[in-house]
Structure 1
Amino acid sequence: MFNKSILTAAVTTALVATLAATTGCAVTRDQETVGAYVDDTAVTTRVKAKFAADPTVSAMAISVETLKGTVQLSGFAKSAEERAMAEKLARETSGVKAVKNDIAVRQGS
């Protein structure tokens, strides 16, 4: 059994390292500063880490994108409960100003 807090810390560290290595200093989608891009990347990382730590939400099946503090969730959930939990976790994340939930619930799952 893995300790949940150790697993969360490991996932967060891995995500931050990956994002730091791959994002560079690019500013995209009409963001005005590199700082805003870095802030959005950090928010995305925190949301994905919460998903990875939660047994209800599949971090692999749900995509997270952040623009100016607004988090957009997309992908597929196995149930309405998973969809709702993903939105709840995102809303409770530091730095999130708004959440747009575009997660579709798979029928027949």
Structure 2
Amino acid sequence: MAISDTAISARVKAALAADPDVKARDVQVETFRGTVQLSGFVDSPDNIRRALDVARGVDGVREVRNALIVK
């Protein structure tokens, strides 16, 4: 059974919020057909990599696209 895009977005947001390194309140998550796009702001290139890794680890995510910006 396929997981809905809405459920995937919610899971990714929860995973990002649970991660101590990623400032999840500054990251927006959009999902279309299992492809997640992360946008918004993070503190460092390491946080971009971490956010992408966290999102990729969520069940149902097929691909992660990065539109995050270091502020």
Which TM class, normalised by the smaller chain length? over 0.9
Higher helix share: 1
Query: Gaps (5+ residues) in structure 1?
Result: 1-35
Q: Equivalent residue of 1:76, what SS?
A: strand
- Between the aligned partners of 2:64 and 2:19, the Cα distance in structure 1 is 18
* Higher RCO (CA-CA < 8 Å; seq separation 6+): 2
Task: Provide the TM-score with structure 1 as the length reference.
Answer: 0.62
- Supply the distance in 2 between the matched residues of 1:98 and 1:53 (Cα, whole angstroms): 21
Higher strand residue share: 2
Write the distance in 2 (CA, Å) between the matches of 1:59 and 1:104.
Answer: 13
Partner of residue 98, structure 1: 63
Match for residue 49 of structure 2 among 74, 79, 84: 84
Tell me which of 41, 44, 69 is aligned to 2:34.
69
Q: CA deviation at 1:50?
A: 0.5
Q: RMSD across aligned C-alpha pairs, in angstroms?
A: 1.3
- Partners of 1:91 and 1:51 in 2: CA distance: 11
Q: Percent identity?
A: 49
Larger radius of gyration: 1
Unmatched runs of 5 consecutive residues or more in structure 2 = none
Question: In structure 2, what is the Cα distance between the partners aligned to 1:62 and 1:104?
Answer: 10
